[in-house]
Homo-oligomer: A and B are copies of this chain.
Amino acid sequence: MTRIRLDLRYDGTGYLGWQKQPKAPMTIQNALEEALFSLIGIKPSTVGSGRTDAGAHARQQVVHFDFDGPTNKYPWVNAINSKLPQQIQLFEAYEAPLEFHSLLSAEKKEYVYFIHNAELPPVFRRDFCWWQRRPLDVAWLNTASKFFVGEHDFKSFQNTGTLVPSTIRTVFLANWTQISPQTLKFRIIGNGFLKQMVRNIVGTLVELSFQKREPIEILKVLQAQDRGAAGQTAPAQGLFLNRVSYPQKLDNKCRKL
C-alpha cells in the first residue's frame, strides 16, 4: 500500500466547497474522486487538509489517499489533470510516507482574503473578492489584527452550532497589505482554523473599522468567547486557502511522482 499526496489549486466558484456530499455532486472532493476513479478504476477515500466553504478557493490544498497499485504506472499530474474540470488543477503528486496525514500532520495553514475597495464593484475579479465601497483604513486593520496573534480561544469567531473539542488556536501572523489602489489583501497564518473563522475575522474587522471603534476593541470580542460579540461573516468568494505546511522532516520524505 502506498500513500499518495496530491497538492491542488482550485477556483471554487460554483462548487459547494471541498467536502464530499452524497446528494450534492458539485464539490471539489467529489470531482477529484471521480477523476481518480476514471484513472485508477477504484474510488479512493481522499482526506483533505481541511474543508473550504462553498465558493471559496485554494491555491494549495493538500490531499492524501492510499493506493494499492504500482505508482510508476501513470504520469500522475498530467493523467489526473486530464480527467479534472479546468477549475481544479493538480500541481504536484508525491509518494508520501505512511505517517503523512494531510489533516493531522499539518503544522501551519495560511489563508488570504481579498477586498475590492472602490466606488464601483469589481468587473474582472467578481468571483475572487469582496466589494467594499467605503474606504478602508489599512493602518487601523493592521493594528486591530495584531490582537489575533498568539494563542487564543477563538470561540467568538466560530460559527454557532459547531462542536469541536477545543476552540483554542494559535495565530502566527495576521496582516493587511494594499496590493493595488483598489485591492486589499489579508494574510493569516495559524496552526489551525475553526469553521468560518477567517471570514468571521475579516467581517468583524471591517465592521468595527467602519464604526470607528478603537482597534483594541477586537480584544473584547475575542475575550467574550461568544459568536454574538463578533460581526458579520465576510463572503466566501474572497477567501483562498493559500498554503498548508508540514514538518520539514515529513516533507523531505515525500517523493515527487
Contacts and interface: CB of A to CB of B under 8 A. Distances in A.
A126 to B, nearest CB: 6
Contacts of A89: 120-121, 123
Contacts of A57: 124
A110 interface: no
A9 B86 contact: no
- Integer count of this chain's copies in the complex: 2
Interface string A148-181: 0000000000000000000000000000000000
Nearest to A118: B91
A191 interface: no
A120 B77 CA distance: 10
A124 B120 contact: no
Interface in A1-27: 9-11
With most chain B CB atoms within 10 A of its CB, the pick from A89, A121, A124, A128 is A124
A9 B57 CA distance: 25
A91 B124 CA distance: 14
A57 to B, nearest CB: 7
A128 B124 contact: yes
Interface in A78-124: 81, 86-89, 91, 120-121, 123-124
Contacts of A11: 123-124, 126
B120 A86 contact: no
Contacts of A10: 123
B123 A9 contact: yes
Contacts of A86: 121, 123, 126
A77 B121 CA distance: 12
Contacts of A126: 11, 86
Contact of A87 (B9, B120, B123): B123
19 contacts: A9-B123, A9-B124, A10-B123, A11-B123, A11-B124, A11-B126, A57-B124, A77-B120, A81-B120, A86-B121, A86-B123, A86-B126, A87-B123, A88-B123, A89-B120, A89-B121, A89-B123, A91-B120, A124-B128
Given A10-B123, A86-B126, 17 more contacts: A9-B123, A9-B124, A11-B123, A11-B124, A11-B126, A57-B124, A77-B120, A81-B120, A86-B121, A86-B123, A87-B123, A88-B123, A89-B120, A89-B121, A89-B123, A91-B120, A124-B128
